[in-house]
Structures are given as structure tokens and as C-alpha cells.
Amino acid sequence: MGESSSDDRVALEARLRAMHEHEGGTPAETIAASIHPQARMRLLVSFGRLLRGRAAVVAALESGRQAAIFRARVQRFDWLDENTVLSFARARYALEQGGYAEGRVVWLDQFRDGLIWHVQVFRQEAEAREAYAAMRGEEADEV
């Protein structure tokens, strides 16, 4: 993507907000266009299990008990590099054993080719930052 301008970041943040605030039972067609075809995401609606590909992500966002319960409101973004951002939110999400929880969550979001590519969800900011540091270490090892 190259050097990000503030306008680019605003557009990317809008894509993230639309995906993270999506409510189950509503079509995710517009969100699908923002998701990379080879997306890899660990979301609250998948109980943190890895979803691979745009279709799997969209299906998880649109249907099922988890999607029906899920609600989130993004509060702020913290850009870590030109393609990686922390998204902070308050969320209500289904628990695998039944019921639901509410609280603060942090997504570690990455873009590839201007599309949402890799997402991991954390309940603590420190965990998200540690995952980012580990990811950056792996990238350095590959060079």
C-alpha cells in the first residue's frame, strides 16, 4: 500500500468499523468487498477459532447464535505501522458454553492490498501488543 495518508487511514478505519460493528442477521455484502479473499481471522463470532477465506468470515458474521448475540462499538484505533492497527471496542459476545459476556476487546488488524486480511481478537491490550511484537519478530526472521 505504500505510505499511508490520513485519508487512507480514515477509509481503512471505516472498513474495520463496518466489519467489527456488523450485527448478525444483516447482509454483509458491503463488508465482504473489504475482506481479502485469503483472509485469516480469529473473531469473537468464531470463538477465536481460525476462519480462512472471505466466505468463511462472512458466513460467521451473518449467521448463528454467536452472530445474533454479538454487538460491538469501536471506540478508537491505534496504528502500529502502515498496514497494522489496534481496534479498541466494547463488545457483547457469545460464550461457547452458553450465555454471553460484555467488556472491552482489542482487535489486532492487518491489511493486505488495502483489504482486511488478518484479524486476531484479544481481551487485553497487552496481549495484542505482544502478538504484534511476535509477528514483527517472525517477519524479521524471514528477511
Whole-angstrom CA distances from 31 to 9, 18, 101 are 17, 7, 25
78, 88 contact by CB (below 8 A): yes
Does residue 1 fall inside a structural domain? no
135, 128 contact by CB (below 8 A): no
Does residue 89 fall inside a structural domain? yes
4-28 pLDDT, tens digit per residue, is 567 799 999 999 999 999 987 777 7
Average pLDDT over all residues of the chain: 91
Distance in angstroms (rounded) separating the CA atoms of residues 44 and 30: 20
Does residue 51 fall inside a structural domain? yes
CATH code (residue 80): 3.10.450.50
Does residue 30 fall inside a structural domain? yes
In 3D space, the residue among 72, 99, 83 whose CA is nearest the CA of residue 18 turns out to be 72
pLDDT band at 3 (very low <50, low <70, confident <90, very high): very low
Distance in angstroms (rounded) separating the CA atoms of residues 50 and 31: 19
104 is written with which cell numbers? Answer: 472491552
Strands in the chain per DSSP E: 35-42, 50-52, 71-81, 84-94, 100-112, 115-122
Whole-angstrom CA distances from 59 to 5, 42, 51, 62, 108 are 32, 13, 10, 5, 21
Range of the domain at 47: 6-142
3-state secondary structure of 84: strand
Does residue 134 fall inside a structural domain? yes
Share of the chain above pLDDT 90, in %: 81
pLDDT band at 1 (very low <50, low <70, confident <90, very high): very low
Number of domains in the chain: 1
Q: Which residues pair with 72 in a beta bridge?
A: 91
